[in-house]
Structure 1
Amino acid sequence: MNEPRLGLAAHSARRRAELVRAAYELVTTRGYRAIGVDDIVLRAGVSHGTFYNYFANKRDILDAVLDHCFDVIRERLIGEDAIPASLDEFRARFGRIVDRCYDLVAGEPGLVNFLLFEAASIDDQVIERVMHNAQIDGAAAAQEVGLGIEHGYLDPRLDTRIAGEVMLSVLMSALLAAVHSGSVGLTRERVRTQLTDFLARALGVEP
């Protein structure tokens, strides 16, 4: 009895993910305002009825697309790196993240452009969704700061929440630098050095 239900649940989750992925691809290549439900179902290869089994309208699927955007960023930028055990490892890890920012912008420029430049102009609910995801990432960054303090390479006087927000702000700076690198000379080497030096000085224990 349970196996058929599990099979249906897995199929339903897979179909919903296919719709979200199709909407994500369209939003990040053509822009949210330029697409409709017709485009999404065509890209996903499903009927309108299937779409409306999961989402009420184009705006309804946008929240899932935003969450997917953040999932992609987390996977592509943070990955499965081990938590650093020293300040040198901390710098090296963030340096790799900066490199991944440039790789992400090169590989999926529409993702970063959508989140940074289009999403906030859609409606207030988008801003709330973005802030919700940012809070999740902020909590994860604060936890990492706490571990750095425990290991002795980050300043024990730090407020972990504020320091986590600083790390996210620096990450945002890396993404913006990657977007504008061709026009203002913000090469990944220059940005990597400047941002990792800044974080080490701002958060690290003085030698």
Structure 2
Amino acid sequence: MTAAPAPDPHRDRPRLSRADRRRAELVTAAYELVVTRGFRTISVDDITAATGVSHGTFYNYFPNKRAILDAVIDHSFLHIRDLLLGPEGDVTPTTMDAFCDRYARVIDRCYDLVATEPGLVNFFLLEASSIDDAVLDRCLHNARAYAAESVARIHEGIAHGYLDPTLDPAIAGEVLLSLLVSALLSALRAGADGLTQPRVRTQLVAFLRTAFGGPGSPTTVGK
């Protein structure tokens, strides 16, 4: 009996048009150049050389080098979201333990991100804010999108009864965003100040359990 073919994970995704594929190739090439060399040191020549297209093709999609940076920032935030939230990013925890375990994994992934893609982290934490105000605004806009997702997680946790019903979801969502930034900064310091990865993970998760937990949630940390 012939085995059934494995399911295609991309089957239900909409097919990109040729123009969309070309634009995506330009953005991906610019992203790779930005995180390896920095935005200021690269040129349109570098981007077109990396994709094998002409300057005319580049200018069909972007009026200048600065314009493609907006698309790179949006692409970067989607990439970071996928890396940090992992395959369970859209799965709703139903207990406080599951909620804390999720964010323990997110904190560990912050360290993985710094270890595997330091150029990406350095760009956002060091270079981006010095380019112009519009870059900072776009970064904040993307960060707010993550915070909005976090607000939804808070509402779900309250509905399941394991998060404190008196929490302000908007403020709690901002706290979850700040937790990511704290973990990334600690990862960049690589424990030089005594804040090792296990210590950071344990303390941040303990904070979440204590600050967010509902009346019936245990306050001890299981890790």
**TM-score, normalised by the number of residues in structure 2:** 0.86
C-alpha distance in structure 1 between counterparts of 2:168 and 2:109, whole Å: 27
Instruction: Please identify which structure carries the higher helix content.
Output: 1
Percent identity of equivalent pairs: 59
Q: Which residue matches 1:123?
A: 132
One-letter amino acid of the counterpart of residue 88, structure 1: D
Q: Which residue matches 1:178?
A: 187
Aligned residues: 201
The secondary structure found in structure 1 opposite 2:48 is helix
1:192 matched to 2:201: yes
One-letter amino acid of the counterpart of residue 29, structure 2: A
Q: Which residue matches 1:160?
A: 169
The range that moved more, 61-70 or 182-191, is: 182-191
Shift of 1:182: 4.7
Q: 1:192 to 1:107 in 2, by over 3 A?
A: same
One-letter amino acid of the counterpart of residue 172, structure 1: V
1:44 matched to 2:51: yes
Contact 2:27–2:68 (CA<8 Å) still a contact in 1? yes
C-alpha distance in structure 2 between counterparts of 1:120 and 1:184, whole Å: 25
1:100 to 100, 104, 109: 109
C-alpha distance in structure 2 between counterparts of 1:185 and 1:70, whole Å: 29
One-letter amino acid of the counterpart of residue 207, structure 2: F
1:90 to 99, 113, 130: 99
Per-residue deviation, residues 92-138 of structure 1 (Å, max 9, x unmatched): 00000011111111111100110111101100111110111112111
Q: Which residue matches 1:59?
A: 66
C-alpha distance in structure 2 between counterparts of 1:42 and 1:194, whole Å: 47
C-alpha distance in structure 2 between counterparts of 1:118 and 1:160, whole Å: 31
C-alpha distance in structure 2 between counterparts of 1:50 and 1:112, whole Å: 30
C-alpha distance in structure 2 between counterparts of 1:185 and 1:39, whole Å: 41
Shift of 1:166: 0.4
Runs of 4+ aligned residues of structure 1 deviating over 4 Å after TM superposition are none
Shift of 1:77: 0.4
Gaps of 5+ in 1: 1-5
Structure with more contact order per residue of length (Cα contacts < 8 Å, sep ≥ 6) = 1
2:212 to 186, 203, 207: 203
C-alpha distance in structure 1 between counterparts of 2:80 and 2:159, whole Å: 27
The range that moved more, 139-148 or 79-88, is: 79-88
One-letter amino acid of the counterpart of residue 59, structure 1: R
C-alpha distance in structure 2 between counterparts of 1:189 and 1:29, whole Å: 29
1:30 matched to 2:30: no
Shift of 1:187: 2.3
CA RMSD, Structure 1 to Structure 2 (Å):
1.4
Shift of 1:183: 2.7
